[in-house]
Amino acid sequence: MRFKGFQRFQRFLGFLVLASGIATPAFAHHSAAGIDRSKTVMLVGTVKQFGWQNPHSWMEVDVPNEAGVVTTWKVEMTSPAFLIRAGWKATTVKPGDKVTVKVFPLRDGDPGGLFQSVTLADGSTLTERAGAPRSSP
């Protein structure tokens, strides 16, 4: 499968997730039905940990509220193979980085969600989608 084929495949996956009521991500190791895709949450905070691993990468982000109380959000991401095609490296984010992470939140209200994009300190933005190259600040 060449790169363009992979992009078509990703678009098809996106269609499947939107079209499927049960939202079973066969590419994930679990169902993501617990994710509320009708909402988006912007997490402005600091990377606590970044896991570059199979089958999922993940990120923990410390997010302070207006009172300065910090909540750690758990963000689930796709596999490194997908992220590499979207321009990621294992070193793209590291603990201590200031980031803004856009997620679909959990339905149950716990501080966690499914990754959509990250905006780094230099203003560039990365998603999980191939064909969505890193935007310039």
User: Looking at beta carbons only, is 9 or 123 nearer to another protein?
Assistant: 9
Q: Helix, strand, or coil here: 24?
A: coil
End-to-end CA, the chain: 32
**Cα–Cα distance between 53 and 80 in angstroms, integer?**
6
Tell me: does residue 31 bind another protein (CB under 8 A).
Answer: yes
The residue within the footprint of another protein, chosen from 7, 41, 46, 56 (CB under 8 A), is 56
Token digits of residue 123: 């203003």
Which residues of this chain interact with another protein, rule CB under 8 A? 1-2, 9, 12-13, 16, 21-22, 24-27, 29-36, 51, 54-56, 58, 60, 74, 76, 79, 81, 84-85, 106-108, 110-114
